[in-house]
Structure 1
Amino acid sequence: MFNKSQLPLARLGLLLLCAAWLLPGLVGHAPWKGGDSEHFVRLWLLLTNGATQQSASATAPLYYWVATATAWLTSSFLTLADGARLASGLFIALALFFIARTARALYGAETTWAAPLTLLGCMGLLVRGHELNAATAQFAAAAIMLYGIATLSQNPRGGWALGSGAALMLLAGGAAEAILFLLLAIVLPGLLAAFRTPPARRALIRGVALALAISAAWLAYLAIEAIPLKQVLNLPRWQGETKLRPAFYLGLLGWYAWPAWPLAAWALYRGRHQWRTPGIVLPIGVLLGLLALYVFDTDPGEEKGLILLLPLALLGASGLFTLRRGAAYALLWFSIMLFGFLALVLWVYWSAHDLGSPARLAVRLTRLGMTGVGAFRPWVLTLGVVVTLAWIVFLARIRRSPLRPILVWTTGMTFCWGLLMALFQTPLNERLSYVSVGSALAGRVPPTECIRTNHVRIQQRVLLTYHSGRRLVPAGSRCDWLLVETRQRNVEPRTSSEWVKVWDGAQPGDRTNLFHLYGRR
């Protein structure tokens, strides 16, 4: 694929691509609506109230430990949210490293880069990998366990990777997933002769013993702290009262795992007559086992499906090297046309936002709550042009190789994401966060005074406390300021005569939720 003189430069380029995928959108903005805000609130409550009082710290402490550490290490130059979000980047990077090592062990050295490129190309990972997301800790732990299982028959250290990965999975809130991976490792010797050798058995025993020892120590510590076992093992996820949605994750994978799943399907078709190999049995066993387990998930969600991408990326990486020329060219040109069109759309939106043309689109952006419409930003233009030219130069210089289709796809996705962040991160931050509401409160309430809240949800209360620097407290507290939220426009909240309205407003573009600030007479 590359000659020896090209290898160092090629590896550097691929590492830069991984960095270009990871960094844009990871820092430089407040917590956004959705999972980013949800996990930030959990971290804030953990830091404010202590570890033993928060269910998140008991169910999935690993992510919050690492997020706390990254936030503390970067506190001199990053905000709390940005510093904590680096934890997601670290876990994604860890997963990429181990999925590359796993592909090398299963399929050979030539697939080492194919697996992480296929994984980065999965559409479902793009947003979830750039937000505060505790599921990224499970994602990394699963990649470590996959590597451990794949190398049980090749390297004595495979057992240590399996055991440590299982312990990390437990700490990441994936007790059920850890048990599933361990059971698969125990069953594999019955299916594959390569796992029945004495070294493989010894490595397996070491791995299981290490997992059990660390897990027992952790559970004993939590028992001393009087934290319920049901909470520690994340059992509410499997014992909820909501109706099961057994096909949720299977339906999700259609777009979530694109283009890994078509490549994986091709690899399975090509290997249909020689399926009893570790490169097929292991990823298929993990995928089917996880899908069977997630049938019982009472609270399914996109972020929890990240682990499903790992076995599909492995199979997809192997399928790349047997892909027929027509299919390879189809993926390559589809990538160029799709991401070229998306880039054109982004530049049109930039023109509407910064130049006010097309005028109708500029008016629509204003109505959607995008701030700064009509204000030209030269540095944003410069950065966007640099990103676009980098993609064009890459397309002009890329050489033919089995990696080229997935490399063009993943680079195109990275380019469009980077262009989106370059052109619109600031207005998106205003639109998707509570920065503007927090600033309004900070400008009207003295720093030493508290704000009583009414009908304000706990997540919003924490975010407004973070952004305003003012102390927002639940209803019933004694304060000289009152903040009320209504969920219907043109509906005035009922308050007693002791309160006088000082301000009302909402997030830019929010047409339903409205905040009303009152001061005591």
Structure 2
Amino acid sequence: MAACRMLSKTGCMVFKICSTDPAITHPTSALSVNQTTPAIVAQSAVRRLPRLALLLLCAAYVLSGFWGREPWKSQDLEALGYMLQLAQPAAGEIANWFRPSLMGQHDPQLALLPYWLGAVFMFGAPAGWEDAFARMPFIAMLALTLAATWYAVYALARHPAAQPVAFAFGGEAKPADYARALADGGLLALLACLGLARLAHEATPALSQLCFASLIFVGLSTLPRWRLHSGIAMGVGMLGLTLSGAPSVALWLGIGGSVLKALGQSDPTQARLRMLDLGLLALLCLLCITTAGYLDLWRWRVVPHTLLDLDVLAKLLVWFTWPAWPLAAWSLWRWRLQLSRGWRFPHLALPLWFIVVTVAATWLTGMSDRALLLALPGIAALAAFALPTLRRSLGALIDWFTLLFFSFCALTIWVVWIAMQTGFPAKPAANVVKLAPGFLPEFSVLTFGLALLATLAWAWLVKWRIGHHRAAIWKSMVLPAAGAVLCWLLLMSLWLPLLNFARSYVTMVQKVQMVTGTSPCLQYAGITQAQGAALLFHAQVRLQAAQAAGSDCPWLVIDERNLPLLEDKLKAWGWVQAAKAKRLGDRSESLLIFRPHPDKLSQVPSATASVNQ
């Protein structure tokens, strides 16, 4: 038996016993000596991250992007259109809550639950506040996703195989403190992921799928320690994911995760899965299958790919999951001795299973970043288990890279905003005019103060991080998470008017109303669902499919790109072009406005102004 002296981070001398005797391994672990944990953590390294600071960071991230933002094209606006059609059906019509439709077209994803939630909250909304009220359940779902990820990492870190090495003379991290520190790191890793920002702040089925997948994750992670809470989380998660348009993913995650959890029940000191747990899982799967079959939710949207498309998937994974994926890869390498029998160790097997299922779903459904969104909690969990194994040099590299990257991004946002307000520097101001012709900047004391406060908080955090303080294993994720939140908050405050101008349909709808006046009805032909939803929401009009010109609905709108296909039919129906409404943020998209030919209907008011500018 050989002994090697080690110096802990507290400066105290401790000894690590390196032995071939299995009895000297971690006392609560069933691992062999070749599968011992690579985590060597002292109690001083698991100090508590201030709860108030963590809650404020999460609140700033969750709320910015939901409040004060116009619906953006196209999925965000389309989802709002489905909710609006359910909450406010056209006169004489009854909304079909099991077949949501927009402009007579049903949702191809058949995501029922997110539309139900948004429509229910719209019922009690004051006039003009429908959008804000519809987003409330999605704000709650994003907050629930963050909370579920924290508790999932905490439960996985409590497993004996995930605990750090026991020191010969004591001083190693206590299990609860160690698990809490890793959970803080996992939550910070999730906040830092670049792909989470935009998609998690849209009122779309993608966010509801992320939320319910996170509930499945936390349910499996806490099983069988907290059976009641685990069962509720898994039941809500699997049923919610099924009703959010992903019944196949729900079954794969639930069944596969439960099998991995059952295979990992080898430690007699731990609570074991019982037949009652397996029976509950069987009932949940049966409920999901029955629900999906009864509501006709099964839709196979497999898109064939070749090996040449692997580079597209690789690029998507690299930027979408940055900066958590390098830490997740490092974690798999450092815990590789356990990974060889990963099904026995849930702190590795469960996150990896969620990643594999989600990446496979992304590959089979056209490599959509919305499908990849479900992998982020699993990647964040793996990134958390890399933190106790990071070398000091690697941690310093992460700190300096993220410091420079996010400071540069924040500086760029401020410089462009100053250029929009003052015209100096001239180059950024000219770029804004070129990319968003017609945009008029506006100044808000509230948004300026909020952005300035966030920037000062970032400067204080940088000073704290590079200063002298006690080590904590979550310290390497503080700057990435805070930097991502800072840049997102600056975009959603300083740049929000510009982004609304470029990505919303407000200006286009206003131009349509300049021609059509207070007409309560518009006919349409060849417009997208996003354009139709914009007319429903911003103009508050009733939409009717195009037909022969008549006095009951005297205006017709059409997407200019579809005019060559419909021009002859419109002439035969007696429609003539009256004006054109362009999106100032996108000159390639325009709506053509038609009125009846004077020979067909002489009493229809003619357009008095052109809206081509």
Under a length normalisation based on structure 1, what TM-score does the superposition of the two structures give?
A: 0.87
Alignment match, 1:105 = 155
Give, in whole Å, the separation in 2 of the partners of 1:198 and 1:339.
44
Corresponding pairs, count: 505
1:368–1:509: 8 Å Cα contact kept in structure 2?
yes
Flag the structure with higher helix content: 1
Q: CA deviation at 1:132?
A: 1.9
When residues 496 and 386 of structure 1 are mapped into structure 2, their CA distance, relative to the original with a 3 A threshold, is same
Query: What secondary structure sits across from 2:300 in the alignment?
Result: helix
Alignment match, 1:315 = 382
When residues 430 and 190 of structure 1 are mapped into structure 2, their CA distance, relative to the original with a 3 A threshold, is closer
Alignment match, 1:280 = 348
Mapping of residues 173-322 of structure 1, within 5 Å: 173-188=245-260, 191-194=263-266, 199-202=272-275, 204-212=277-285, 214-215=287-288, 218=291, 223=294, 227=295, 229=296, 232-233=297-298, 235-238=299-302, 247=310, 249-275=313-339, 276-297=344-365, 299-322=366-389
1:133–1:303: 8 Å Cα contact kept in structure 2?
no
Alignment match, 2:584 = 508
Alignment match, 1:482 = 556
Alignment match, 2:213 = 142
**Which residue of 425, 430, 444 corresponds with 1:358?**
425
Worse overlay, 271-280 or 92-101? 271-280
When residues 326 and 441 of structure 1 are mapped into structure 2, their CA distance, relative to the original with a 3 A threshold, is same
Q: CA deviation at 1:189?
A: 5.6
When residues 65 and 423 of structure 1 are mapped into structure 2, their CA distance, relative to the original with a 3 A threshold, is same
* Amino acid in structure 2 at the alignment position of 1:510: D
* Amino acid in structure 2 at the alignment position of 1:164: V
When residues 150 and 345 of structure 1 are mapped into structure 2, their CA distance, relative to the original with a 3 A threshold, is same
* Amino acid in structure 2 at the alignment position of 1:394: L
**Which residue of 69, 72, 78 corresponds with 1:29?**
69
Give, in whole Å, the separation in 1 of the partners of 2:542 and 2:128.
22
When residues 373 and 200 of structure 1 are mapped into structure 2, their CA distance, relative to the original with a 3 A threshold, is same
1:244–1:295: 8 Å Cα contact kept in structure 2?
no
Q: Does 1:52 align with 2:52?
A: no
2:419–2:426: 8 Å Cα contact kept in structure 1?
yes
Q: CA deviation at 1:105?
A: 0.9
Q: How well do the aligned residues superpose, as a CA RMSD in angstroms?
A: 3.2
Give, in whole Å, the separation in 2 of the partners of 1:519 and 1:57.
32
Alignment match, 2:140 = 90
Q: CA deviation at 1:488?
A: 9.7
Mapping of residues 387-466 of structure 1, within 5 Å: 387-398=454-465, 399=469, 400-466=471-537
Q: CA deviation at 1:118?
A: 0.8
When residues 172 and 496 of structure 1 are mapped into structure 2, their CA distance, relative to the original with a 3 A threshold, is closer
Query: What secondary structure sits across from 1:153 in the alignment?
Result: coil
Give, in whole Å, the separation in 2 of the partners of 1:56 and 1:201.
40
Q: CA deviation at 1:186?
A: 4.2
Query: What secondary structure sits across from 1:340 in the alignment?
Result: helix
When residues 369 and 186 of structure 1 are mapped into structure 2, their CA distance, relative to the original with a 3 A threshold, is closer
Larger Rg belongs to:
2
Give, in whole Å, the separation in 2 of the partners of 1:518 and 1:102.
57
Q: CA deviation at 1:79?
A: 2.6
2:355–2:375: 8 Å Cα contact kept in structure 1?
yes
Q: CA deviation at 1:87?
A: 2.9
Q: CA deviation at 1:434?
A: 0.9
Q: CA deviation at 1:152?
A: 2.1
**Identity score, percent:** 27
Structure 1 gap segments, 5+ residues each: none
Alignment match, 2:394 = 327
Query: What secondary structure sits across from 2:522 in the alignment?
Result: strand
Structure 2 gap segments, 5+ residues each: 1-41, 90-94, 101-105, 158-178, 599-613
Alignment match, 2:196 = 125
1:71–1:83: 8 Å Cα contact kept in structure 2?
yes
Q: CA deviation at 1:44?
A: 3.0
Q: CA deviation at 1:18?
A: 0.4
* Amino acid in structure 2 at the alignment position of 1:161: A
Q: CA deviation at 1:261?
A: 1.1
Q: CA deviation at 1:512?
A: 1.5
Worse overlay, 464-473 or 306-315? 464-473
Q: CA deviation at 1:516?
A: 2.7
1:186–1:204: 8 Å Cα contact kept in structure 2?
no
Worse overlay, 278-287 or 263-272? 278-287
Give, in whole Å, the separation in 2 of the partners of 1:132 and 1:188.
33
2:181–2:473: 8 Å Cα contact kept in structure 1?
no
Give, in whole Å, the separation in 1 of the partners of 2:80 and 2:382.
34
Q: CA deviation at 1:277?
A: 1.7
Query: What secondary structure sits across from 1:163 in the alignment?
Result: helix
Query: What secondary structure sits across from 2:558 in the alignment?
Result: strand
Q: CA deviation at 1:507?
A: 1.0
2:182–2:473: 8 Å Cα contact kept in structure 1?
no
* Amino acid in structure 2 at the alignment position of 1:288: V
* Amino acid in structure 1 at the alignment position of 2:119: T
When residues 386 and 266 of structure 1 are mapped into structure 2, their CA distance, relative to the original with a 3 A threshold, is same
1:163–1:206: 8 Å Cα contact kept in structure 2?
no
Give, in whole Å, the separation in 2 of the partners of 1:408 and 1:34.
32
Question: Which string of whole-angstrom CA distances, capped at 9 and with x for unpartnered residues, describes residues 9-54 of structure 1?
Answer: 8111101100111111112122112321232233234443431332
Worse overlay, 260-269 or 56-65? 56-65
Q: Does 1:42 align with 2:82?
A: yes
* Amino acid in structure 1 at the alignment position of 2:336: R
Give, in whole Å, the separation in 2 of the partners of 1:195 and 1:65.
44
1:20–1:418: 8 Å Cα contact kept in structure 2?
yes
1:120–1:410: 8 Å Cα contact kept in structure 2?
yes
Give, in whole Å, the separation in 2 of the partners of 1:511 and 1:443.
19
2:523–2:555: 8 Å Cα contact kept in structure 1?
yes
Q: CA deviation at 1:380?
A: 4.3
Give, in whole Å, the separation in 2 of the partners of 1:72 and 1:12.
34
When residues 373 and 167 of structure 1 are mapped into structure 2, their CA distance, relative to the original with a 3 A threshold, is closer
Query: What secondary structure sits across from 2:67 in the alignment?
Result: coil
Query: What secondary structure sits across from 1:453 in the alignment?
Result: strand
